[in-house]
Amino acid sequence: FYADVALAAGTSISLPEQTARHVQVLRLQPGERITLFNGRGNGEPGSEGEFDATVERMGRSDVDVTIGAWTATAREAARAIHLVVGMPANDRMDWLIEKATELGAASIQPVMSERSVLRLKAERADKKVAHWRGIAIASSEQCGRNRVPLIHEVATLGEWLKKSTVETDATANTANTGMRLLLSLQDGSRPLAQAVASTALTSFTFLNGPEGGLSPAEEAAAIACGFSPVTLGPRVLRAETAPLACLSLLTLTR
Ligand code: SAM
């Protein structure tokens, strides 16, 4: 169970509302043992793992637990994969978030671009992001990840490119600035497998378009911001399939 609170062995806590609701749905009884994680490890930087816990009391709407031992358990992918996704409409984005979480994505940035079918005003975008974060939590619990991928606020592609360029500039001297890859159907794109074959980099950012693709101007802007165009082959994959294919290639082969 994901519990968005500080966790420490030997302490007793009342579970956050959302976690308590989940425990109650499963009709657990006092004395039963559960596993808790909060995505922050045991407090030490970079630690990965989970806490054993025992249900002490099941109230009407609250659940008290005692937190037991910490077990270091590495379940994250060896490569950090960040997805910048031209959001597909309907429930396809929900599906993408669920599957990308299972496949080990480190973060997902939903973007609106010129040809996006799904256009969200601020209030609706906030609700959608909250909904997607819930899906990422449920999917992490289901697949046994003890970290939840970061789901960023919705941005326009232009805004995101501008901001990410500034962030990249600020960290340009760090050892691993990662590889930026644009999923493109344009002639001349390099096959993805070839582009990543001999790299020692462990951080990758993929940008893909929505149903209607990215416009030539948007692709040019991405390339100007350091993205290299890559192809996934001669078939046109749906907007939610393309990033999942990249994740599979990079997280399951190392
Ligand atoms: N008609 C649109 C076009 O020409 O761009 C198709 C868009 S496709 C449904 C959605 C996105 O998935 C594309 O913008 C691209 O980023 C990615 N994509 C789909 N198939 C791909 C492939 N074979 N190689 C690289 N990227 C692909």
Cα–Cα distance measured from residue 40 to residue 5, given in angstroms and rounded to the nearest whole number: 9
Q: Indicate the domain borders of the chain.
A: 12-72, 80-251
Nearest CA to ligand 1 atom 12: 239
8 A C-beta contact, residue 181 and residue 227: yes
Residue whose entry in the numeric block shows the structure tokens 């043992």: 33
Lowest mean pLDDT among 119-123, 130-134, 194-198, 208-212: 119-123
Output the CA 231–ligand 1 centroid distance in Å.
Answer: 9
Output the CA 206–ligand 1 centroid distance in Å.
Answer: 12
Q: Ligand 1: does its nearest atom lie under 6 Å from the Cβ of 144?
A: no
**pLDDT value at position 169?**
54
Model confidence at 166, pLDDT cuts 50, 70, 90, reads low
Nearest CA to ligand 1 atom 10: 239
Residue whose entry in the numeric block shows the structure tokens 């990308």: 100
Q: Quick one: 12-72 is in which CATH superfamily?
A: Hypothetical PUA domain-like; domain 1 (2.40.240.20)
Q: Ligand 1: does its nearest atom lie under 6 Å from the Cβ of 238?
A: yes
Cα–Cα distance measured from residue 122 to residue 91, given in angstroms and rounded to the nearest whole number: 19
Distant-in-sequence, close-in-space partners of 116: CB < 8 Å, separation ≥ 6: 86, 87, 210, 212
Q: Ligand 1: does its nearest atom lie under 6 Å from the Cβ of 214?
A: yes
Per-residue pLDDT tens over the stretch 170-227: 554 444 468 999 999 999 999 999 999 989 899 999 999 999 999 999 999 999 999 9
Q: Which token pair is 73?
A: 């358990």
Cα–Cα distance measured from residue 162 to residue 174, given in angstroms and rounded to the nearest whole number: 20
Output the CA 187–ligand 1 centroid distance in Å.
Answer: 12
Lowest mean pLDDT among 120-124, 139-143, 175-179: 175-179
Nearest CA to ligand 1 atom 5: 213
In terms of average pLDDT, the best of 19-28, 72-81, 162-171, 230-239 is: 230-239
Average pLDDT on 14-23 reads: 92
Model confidence at 138, pLDDT cuts 50, 70, 90, reads very high
Cα–Cα distance measured from residue 181 to residue 245, given in angstroms and rounded to the nearest whole number: 13
CATH of the domain spanning 80-251, picked from 3.40.190.10, 3.40.1280.10, 1.10.10.10, 3.40.50.1220: 3.40.1280.10
Output the CA 104–ligand 1 centroid distance in Å.
Answer: 22
Per-residue pLDDT tens over the stretch 87-110: 998 899 999 999 999 999 999 999
Confidence check on the interface: ipTM exceeds 0.85, yes or no: yes
Nearest CA to ligand 1 atom 19: 237
Output the CA 89–ligand 1 centroid distance in Å.
Answer: 15
Q: Ligand 1: does its nearest atom lie under 6 Å from the Cβ of 58?
A: no
Beta bridge partners of 189: none
Q: Ligand 1: does its nearest atom lie under 6 Å from the Cβ of 236?
A: yes
Model confidence at 137, pLDDT cuts 50, 70, 90, reads very high
Average pLDDT on 105-120 reads: 90
Q: Which residue has the higher pLDDT, 44 or 218?
A: 218
Cα–Cα distance measured from residue 22 to residue 138, given in angstroms and rounded to the nearest whole number: 10
